[in-house]
Amino acid sequence: MAIISTADELFDSDVYVDLGHTLRIPLHLKCEGFNFAGSVKLRAATSMVASALRLGLIDEHSTMVESSSGNLGVALSVVAAARSLRFVCVTDPKCNPATVKLMRAFGSDVVVADRPDADGGYLTARKTLVRELCSRNSGYVWLNQYENPANWLAHYENTAPLIAKQFPELDVLFIGTGTGGTLTGCVRWFRDNRPGVRIVAVDTVGSVNFGMPAGPRHLPGGGARAGGPRWLERHDPAGALTSVAISADMGDRYIETVYDDAWVRSIYGDLDKEQEESHG
């Protein structure tokens, strides 16, 4: 039985879904949504806030500021509420309304960067707005998930070793890539402790993380679940590898996007028709 004092103390779960039972693929899905923030981002949020407090970068008079398209904003809202701290989330129009309402329900302020960057995305616009807010308001502190080592250290110290403990024969680990915190922490831990494990990063079209052309990034989450099976189909047709994919959340925050047929058609066209034509 787990007994906690504040909502930000619960971020661990050893729940894995064996997709071999339903999808007939040798892949286990590590479910990171069973906490009060609903995502793996609670690890990073707790780590960054604890580090900032320890280093004296923030105190009870400070206002934390961070750029987020959704999950980290919710996670920091949970931590801020649990520790009686103030938090401002800078997000963009792609953040779904339910997530915005959830952050505000936790007591956070939400500011929307509503003008896209030159490449059609919003990341640069969000960062610019964060800097403007911090320059105009004394006491505002940017946690800066993009450069903050406490982000990836949360996964070096927790996520990776927990997976290794449950899967001592692990061959492949699939990780969806956003800011790279989960990926970096896991890559460094396995490199230091289990170098034989292969890490496969999954990203979406429009991201520049791996040198692809910049463009609108329509899928902020759900990537590892889709990319893992495709990689295994190509590289492990015999199903001999032991593999895990980190599911960053429970998927409920994409009900109006990834899991909405009308949204998918509006962005990607009729995928069923394209598949029929490609097999015809």
Low pLDDT (below 70) residues in the chain: 205-221, 223-225, 271-280
Q: How many CB atoms lie within 10 A of CB 212?
A: 12
Token pair of 181, please?
């915190």
pLDDT for the residue 266: 85
| Domains in the chain: ranges and CATH | 7-35+152-279 (3.40.50.1100), 41-142 (3.40.50.1100)
Dist. CA 122–CA 120, nearest whole Å: 7
pLDDT tens for each residue of 154-180: 999 999 999 999 999 999 999 988 778
List the catalytic residues.
41
The residue whose two tokens read 């800097």 is: 131
Dihedrals phi, psi of 163, to nearest 5 degrees: -65, -45
Q: What pTM, to 2 d.p., does this model score?
A: 0.87
pLDDT for the residue 208: 56
Closest alpha carbon to 145 in 48, 43, 3:
48
Single-letter residue type at 269: G
pLDDT for the residue 94: 85
Residue 251: how many CA atoms within 13 Å on its side-chain side? Answer: 13
pLDDT for the residue 188: 98
pLDDT for the residue 161: 96
The residue whose two tokens read 């940017």 is: 142
pLDDT for the residue 209: 57
